[in-house]
Amino acid sequence: MKLLLILPKSERGWWGKVSRSGKAGFVRLNLPTIAALTPEDWEVEILDNRVKPVDYSARPDLVGITGFTSEIPWAYEIADKWRDRGVKVAMGGVHVSAMPDEALTHCDAVVIGEAELVWAGLLDDLKAGRLKKKYKAERLCGMKGMAIPRRDLLDRKMFSSFYTLQATRGCPFNCDYCAVTAFFGNEFRVRPVDDVIEEIKGFNAKEFFFMDDNIVGRAKYAKELFTKLIPLGVRWGSQASITMAKDDELLRLYAKSGGKYAFIGLESLSQKNLDKMHKGWNSAKGFKESIAKIHDAGINIVGSFVFGLDDDDPTVFKTTLDFIMETKLDAAQFHILTPLPGTVTYGVLEREGRIIDRDWAKYHTGEVVFRPKGMTAEELQAGYYWIFKQTYSMKSILKRSLRSRAGLVYRLAANFSYRKKALLMPDVPGL
């Protein structure tokens, strides 16, 4: 039996683009994990459509497709083409789990939530000719002894960050606009530290990225993990919450174990916004001090900001840029508030009748798809382009990057990679 797993490309937005050298960014672990969960009597192929076209002349017994909300139109297009050729298609992932009935108009079966506990059953049902429409695990799976993603099925040359892994799942927080808790549930799960260390040793590489949503979500676990990473002499990055600045030992171990950078969701400088999105534990007042502490520990920060929240008006872009320059934030990611299906934000904006565009292709957090409160949709879109361009002007890059010699290479690489995206955006006169 042949299984073809496909990750679609997205032809809109700034994040999923392949680089000029034709490489995709980070290896996403979903399909390599599904491959690892597939019994040995199946022949498995993974096709990352970001870097390779789909060959519809092949004859797999099953096609499995996943994708973020912004990729889902292309996922559906691929699914439709396979079904036109008589091939069964199963879909899963964050978007499909939130919108299973929509997905079922394009495929034969959906996996709702994590696939670990239901995937083998789906394959058995297919073989026996009794494929059901919906497969939903009744509980979250444990992380002990979890399947190691089949990286051997990927072409290493096609990715700029090949070694990615997961030590934890979920996040102890529950921010309204975030799909993490909606998908992974409220439980923050951790993998045995020794399992993580073994997987890293198997990389035979000195640099990797934790795909975790919050690597410091449980401080005690993070400290144990970081302590065991120290002898490996590796370099790594992850997403983390700014709460780590409150724990000196955690910060020290993060840096000492090779943690060179952290993606941190600052989201908004307005405490009112943070409170409203249930991110009140992120204290806007304490941001400057926390950033300074993380910098002093030797860790670069890529801060993430969301615009279009209810307390934002057109001044938010200039205020945020001033903050980035004053704190010498190493890099910043900007997002327009996007009501991803399955999130609290989606439910609220839907009830308030403020969702103005349901073209999922635009749900890549760089286009306005809802009616903001404190400014027009046009002002929000223009402000997003403006702050991106200002932050990644040469003057800004140099001023922030040269704050210290330590970690300079990482800072410059990150800034020039974001600058490429900024240069693709339209100029905004008058801002």
- Which residue, 279 or 295, is less far from ligand SF4 as judged by CB? 279
Cβ distance to ligand SF4 smaller for residue 154 or 180: 180
Q: Which is nearer to ligand SF4, 183 or 386 (CB)?
A: 183
* C-alpha dist (Å) from residue 173 to 204, 373, 398: 34, 25, 35
Shortest Å distance, C-beta 382 to ligand SF4: 25
Smallest distance, Å, CB 170 to ligand SF4? Answer: 8
CB atoms within 10 A of CB 249: 10
- The CB-of-234 to ligand SF4 minimum distance in angstroms stands at 24
Distance in Å, CB of 214 to ligand SF4, minimum: 5
In the bound complex, what is the minimum distance in angstroms from residue 164's beta carbon to ligand SF4?
16
Instruction: Give the nearer residue to ligand SF4 in terms of CB position, either 265 or 308.
Output: 265
Where do contacts with ligand SF4 occur on this chain (CB under 6 A)?
171, 173-175, 178, 180-181, 213-214, 241, 265, 279
Rank residues 304 and 417 by Cβ distance to ligand SF4 and give the closer one: 304
Nearer to ligand SF4, 174 or 417 (CB): 174
Question: Which lies closer to ligand SF4 via its Cβ, residue 305 or residue 392?
Answer: 305
Residue 157: how many other CB atoms lie within 10 Å: 10
User: CA-CA distance, 397 to 42, in Å (whole number)?
Assistant: 49
DSSP 348-390: HHHHTT-B----GGG-SSSS--B--SSS-HHHHHHHHHHHHHH
- Contacts of range 390-395, beta carbons closer than 8 Å, 24 or more positions apart: 390/321, 391/321, 391/324, 391/332, 391/334, 391/418, 391/422, 392/418, 392/419, 392/421, 392/422, 392/423
Least distance between ligand SF4 and beta carbon 87 (Å): 36
Four-point Cα dihedral 27, 362, 303, 350, nearest 10: -120
Q: Show the tokens assigned to 141.
A: 């799976």
Find the radius of gyration of the CA atoms of the chain: 22
Residue 36's closest CA among 125, 140, 152? 152
Task: State the nearest-atom distance from the C-beta of 281 to ligand SF4, in Å.
Answer: 9
